[in-house]
Amino acid sequence: MTSGGPPVPDTTSAVPAERKRLVSGPGLLLVWLYGVMVVGALSRSAYQISTAFDRAPLAYSLSAVAALVYAFITYSLVRGGEKARRAALLCCAAELAGVLAVGAWTLVRPEAFPEATVWSDFGMGYLFIPVILPITGMLWLRKR
């Protein structure tokens, strides 16, 4: 029996139709790994900046930048949609460029980094995840 009122829109869908999910299947693992990197880089940089910033300001600042990059990519992946996918893809490319630049810089001029950053030695302190993750992310995002 109908009440004769206006039709009620369907609100059961949590994601708008135009926003394609990016976190299904292997994308969920990607979000999880980026989330772990956010926590690791953010806690590391917050502690280092608050306790010994004058010892290695460049290294500690770069770790904070890495945390922000990881957080933005995580947010973009969770948000979904074409705009978020393109933003995450661009950010993954920038992240890879940063990892490669800082990694090479720490090998060529180690005296410039009295303390390690998240991206030092291509992420060796983080099991090379900082160099592997953006490549994996870009491959995943290109397929989506």
CB 74 within 8 A of CB 35: yes
> Which regions of the chain are under pLDDT 50?
17
**What pLDDT, on the 0 to 100 scale, is given for residue 44?**
92
CB 30 within 8 A of CB 78: no
**What pLDDT, on the 0 to 100 scale, is given for residue 23?**
72
CB 136 within 8 A of CB 30: yes
Q: Which of 107, 99, 101 is nearest to 129 (CA)?
A: 99
**What pLDDT, on the 0 to 100 scale, is given for residue 27?**
83
**What pLDDT, on the 0 to 100 scale, is given for residue 24?**
75
To 5 degrees, how large is the angle CA 134–CA 62–CA 83?
A: 40
Residue 66: Cβ-neighbour burial (10 angstroms; 0-12, 13-18, 19+): buried
CA–CA distance from 20 to each of 24, 52, 92 (Å)?
A: 10, 43, 19
**What pLDDT, on the 0 to 100 scale, is given for residue 2?**
54
**What pLDDT, on the 0 to 100 scale, is given for residue 17?**
47
For the segment 107-135, what is each residue's pLDDT rounded down to a tens digit?
A: 999 998 899 888 999 999 889 999 999 99
How many Å is the maximal CA-CA distance in the chain?
79
For the segment 50-62, what is each residue's pLDDT rounded down to a tens digit?
A: 999 999 999 999 9
**What pLDDT, on the 0 to 100 scale, is given for residue 35?**
95
